[in-house]
Structure 1
Amino acid sequence: MNKAVDPVAKLSGEIVPPPDKSISHRSAMFAALSSENSIIQNYSSAADPQSTLECLKQLGVEIHQEGSTVKISGVGRDGFQDPEKSLDCGNSGTTMRLLSGIVAGAGVECTMIGDESLSARTMKRIIDPLRKMGCKIDGKEGIYAPLEIHSHGGVKGMRYPLPIASAQLKSCVLLAGLFGDEPTEVVEDVLSRDHTERLLQLETEPYGSGKIIQSSRDHIIPQQNYRVPGDFSAAAFWLVAGSIHENAEIHLSGTGVNPSRDAVYHILEEMGASFKKTNNRLAGKEPVSDLFVESSDLKPIHLDPALIPNCIDELPILMVAMCFADGKSVITGAEELRHKETDRLSAMAEILNLAGTEVELQQDGIIIQGRRDFKPSAATFPTYHDHRMAMAAAVLATKGTDTSAITHADCTAISYPKFWTDLQTLSDSAA
């Protein structure tokens, strides 16, 4: 479906960001791994985390869901059953990459499949280390889903320096390591999001500018009893929307502010965005705050490549903010964006070009010439069925000269089912 987006003169109101997708995935998987029962509140209703629940059910995990509360009866490391049919991960790379660490480590006999988009995304980065650990896993052409996983003679612990900063790769290896008698150590030179080690309470130690995380069969997997925080990646769309509009006041309550996830908050502050952070608290092991953003005059920025792993999912909406910063902004070291649900570097360059922004696309980044008085041209913005493209284009279109159209707008349900409702709420409250 296409969605029409009109220019908006003002944005105001309070939004509760959707439950954090990354934490929802992990909370369900870790609850299944535990030998105890868990109650997870505010579990995400988005398509991707629901794919995780369906896969776990097929593995013999008893799950009861009432609204956003999920009760999971843990089966422990040795309680997973061979599924009767393929585990369908849908569009969720997190489901496939993390769950493969669990089922490969456990030696479950299964096939993991995904939709057309997920099946085109390389899984080589997880296949290679899992094989080194003694797991039996293979993919189409050696690198793509479907993934075929088989029983094995036992997981071998290893020391694994991460070749790229990737929380999904890190988590996959650590989860497989939970099935090994000898420790597996993941060496992380550049810090990535740390939900896995937080929620599993894994042993970590500093290592240069990064850290070493350890897992083994000796580690006791804790219950997952907590409320999932609001998704910072979703909140980022409203942080930018509030910053670029001349007349905006947006309150975001219950937002996760994990320091391994919130780089865009600090990047926008450096660009001149006006924020307040109040009511700081914890949800389980995760920090949570209420955020307030209002209209700001933004400055351009040359983004430090070292920050990319901390804000990889938020880069598309950050590019929108750069359009309204008075001068040239530069992103480098972001080639990983080309390997997401779509090639997000090329897709965002196309969206920004259609809006009339001066853009220079690079192999690993983008150069954006922003203007404080920029008025995006009305256009039909392609999304390539990518939820973050759709939401970034929608925020951009609210500043446009006329009505724009967002293609395949329903893809926002992958991570943010209420996005269009929340956008309407902020627009109506401002009327």
Structure 2
Amino acid sequence: MDVLVTPTPRLEGELQALSSKNYTTRYLLVAALAEGTSTIYYPAHSEDSDAMRRCIRDLGAIVEEDEEKIVITGFGRHPKPVDQLDVGNAGAVLRFLMAIAALCPDITFINRYPDSLGKRPHSDLIDSLTAMGVSIDHNEGKLPITIHGGAPKGGKIQVSGNISSQFLSALLFLTPLLEEESEIEVLHDLKSKVVVGQTLEVLEQAGIVIHADEDYMRFRVPGRQSYAAKTYSVQGDYPGSAAILAAAAVTNSDVFVHRLEEKSKQGERAVVDVLKMMEVPLTHENGIIHVKGNGQLKAVEFDGDHATDAVLAMVAAAVFAEGTSRFYNVENLRYKECDRITDYLNELRKAGANVEERQAEIIVHGRPEGVEGGVEINAHYDHRVIMALTVVGLRAKNPIRIRDAHHVAKSYPIFFDHLQALGANVEWLES
């Protein structure tokens, strides 16, 4: 399905932020790794979290759900052997479960999205697991991947962090269950450190002890630990809300978004600081962000590594800012569902934006007068690109048609419903 985004001068209303995809995915996994019954309140509903639900069921967890919560009886350190797992298009779910699959004899992760997840590299995690005694068949580091596990060994483990922090998180979920103590050393740079902080926060809540150096480059993980069955409550999601806040910033608006904690460990919380730097009128109190946008924005410079999943939305806002904005230290955007630098900027140019790329930078020469629009653009099956391009469409001079916009469901299935509730002129079209 495509979406037609027609210029909309004003947004107004109140929304409850979606629950966090990152936290939901992690809580589902630690609940499955516990022996006993855990409860997760306000879980996210998205293709990613649904993929984790499906896979932990396949691995032997009992999953019961109502409108408010999920109750999970875990499989502990003994996942049920299965032949195949289908993670859909969810990279984090794949990487976390590749590590857990090392506890099983033979599991093949199938390649259902050859044009998206099927293109993404996982060699850094494969190298780490292989060094731990796990035999792995793979397609030059890409799907399909077969894990021949059963007896992974702890000890001294190295993992590269310069492509994704998810490889490190995967090892942090696995190593507490091993017989030996593990020492994990991160090689090169570590991208998205704040997301590692979320992993450590969830592990601590699940009763796991991990000793981390302050810079997250070394970890000591005692072995023979057990995940505790607990009750969790999922906080609101900043990455998805970033696009809503950006949409409010580029229009005349009076928008309230609830359930966004001021002291959240989500790095994308920085979208609030960036919008303030852009001189967008907003307040953030008692978990509520109130944007009273006037469509007038100033350029910014921002280190995007701290807020990877909000960068595209902030770039969309910068398209209409006065001056030149620079988002730097963002090379890891190239290794997502698509190349979120080259692919995204190509589509922005079609819409009339003046943007440049470097290997690890996005530069935006703002056009406060607006962009032309009036084009059909390709979102490359990427939920973050879809949401960001929608922001641009709301302020363009002519409608923008976004192809395959249904892929927004990967993280935010009701994104367009929420925008319509605020008065945005968006409509679904048959592809």
Common topology (TM > 0.5): yes
Instruction: Report the counterpart of residue 282 of structure 1 in structure 2.
Output: none
Instruction: Report the counterpart of residue 275 of structure 2 in structure 1.
Output: 268
Instruction: Report the counterpart of residue 71 of structure 2 in structure 1.
Output: 71
Q: Find the partner of 1:226 among 223, 232, 254.
A: 232
Deviations 1:153-194 (A, max 9, x none): 442222546532733122111122123223334456753312
Instruction: Report the counterpart of residue 285 of structure 1 in structure 2.
Output: none
User: Following the alignment from structure 1 to structure 2, what is the Cα–Cα distance between the partners of residues 369 and 35?
Assistant: 54
Instruction: Report the counterpart of residue 18 of structure 1 in structure 2.
Output: 18
Letter in 2 for 1:250: V
Query: Contact 1:134–1:156 (CA<8 Å) still a contact in 2?
Result: no
Query: Contact 2:27–2:232 (CA<8 Å) still a contact in 1?
Result: no
**Aligned-residue RMSD, C-alpha:** 2.2
Q: Give, in angstroms, the shift of residue 69 of structure 1.
A: 2.0
Distance 1:425 1:38, change over 3 A: same
Q: Give, in angstroms, the shift of residue 303 of structure 1.
A: 2.3
Q: Find the partner of 1:330 among 326, 333, 349.
A: 326
Q: Give, in angstroms, the shift of residue 365 of structure 1.
A: 2.1
Q: Give, in angstroms, the shift of residue 203 of structure 1.
A: 4.1
Does 2:93 match 1:95? yes
Instruction: Report the counterpart of residue 252 of structure 1 in structure 2.
Output: 257
Does 2:52 match 1:49? no
Letter in 1 for 2:108: T
What aligned pairs does 1:129-278 form with structure 2 within 5 A after superposition? 129-141=128-140, 143-160=141-158, 162-164=160-162, 166-187=164-185, 191-193=193-195, 194-201=197-204, 202-203=208-209, 207=213, 209-210=215-216, 212-245=218-251, 247-256=252-261, 258-261=264-267, 262-278=269-285
SS in 2 for 1:398: helix
Instruction: Report the counterpart of residue 8 of structure 2 in structure 1.
Output: 8
What aligned pairs does 1:253-402 form with structure 2 within 5 A after superposition? 253-256=258-261, 258-261=264-267, 262-279=269-286, 289-295=287-293, 297-304=296-303, 308-402=304-398
Instruction: Report the counterpart of residue 429 of structure 2 in structure 1.
Output: none
Query: Contact 1:356–1:377 (CA<8 Å) still a contact in 2?
Result: yes
Deviations 1:101-151 (A, max 9, x none): 1121x234211123222111111121111112222223123x011111113
User: Following the alignment from structure 1 to structure 2, what is the Cα–Cα distance between the partners of residues 199 and 176?
Assistant: 14
Distance 1:214 1:268, change over 3 A: farther
Distance 1:187 1:236, change over 3 A: farther
Query: Contact 2:108–2:144 (CA<8 Å) still a contact in 1?
Result: yes
With 202-211 and 52-61 compared, the bigger mean Cα shift is at: 202-211
SS in 1 for 2:260: strand
Letter in 2 for 1:27: Y
Query: Contact 1:113–1:119 (CA<8 Å) still a contact in 2?
Result: no
User: Following the alignment from structure 1 to structure 2, what is the Cα–Cα distance between the partners of residues 109 and 157?
Assistant: 23
Letter in 1 for 2:17: P
Query: Contact 1:203–1:214 (CA<8 Å) still a contact in 2?
Result: no
The size of the alignment, in residue pairs, is 412
Instruction: Report the counterpart of residue 404 of structure 1 in structure 2.
Output: 400
> 4+ runs of 1 displaced by more than 6 Å?
none
User: Following the alignment from structure 1 to structure 2, what is the Cα–Cα distance between the partners of residues 66 and 160?
Assistant: 41
> Please, which runs of 5 or more residues in structure 2 have no aligned partner?
426-431
SS in 2 for 1:178: helix
Letter in 2 for 1:354: K
TM-score (norm 2): 0.89
Q: Give, in angstroms, the shift of residue 374 of structure 1.
A: 2.2
Query: Contact 1:11–1:427 (CA<8 Å) still a contact in 2?
Result: yes
User: Following the alignment from structure 1 to structure 2, what is the Cα–Cα distance between the partners of residues 215 and 274?
Assistant: 45
Query: Contact 1:272–1:298 (CA<8 Å) still a contact in 2?
Result: yes
Q: Give, in angstroms, the shift of residue 24 of structure 1.
A: 1.1
Query: Contact 1:31–1:74 (CA<8 Å) still a contact in 2?
Result: yes
Letter in 1 for 2:164: S
Letter in 2 for 1:54: R
With 311-320 and 157-166 compared, the bigger mean Cα shift is at: 157-166
Distance 1:27 1:298, change over 3 A: same
User: Following the alignment from structure 1 to structure 2, what is the Cα–Cα distance between the partners of residues 55 and 209?
Assistant: 32
Query: Contact 2:301–2:325 (CA<8 Å) still a contact in 1?
Result: yes
SS in 2 for 1:240: helix
User: Following the alignment from structure 1 to structure 2, what is the Cα–Cα distance between the partners of residues 338 and 317?
Assistant: 16
Query: Contact 2:253–2:292 (CA<8 Å) still a contact in 1?
Result: yes
Letter in 2 for 1:327: G
User: Following the alignment from structure 1 to structure 2, what is the Cα–Cα distance between the partners of residues 260 and 253?
Assistant: 16
Letter in 2 for 1:158: K
What percentage of aligned pairs have identical amino acids?
A: 27
SS in 2 for 1:255: coil
Q: Give, in angstroms, the shift of residue 236 of structure 1.
A: 0.4
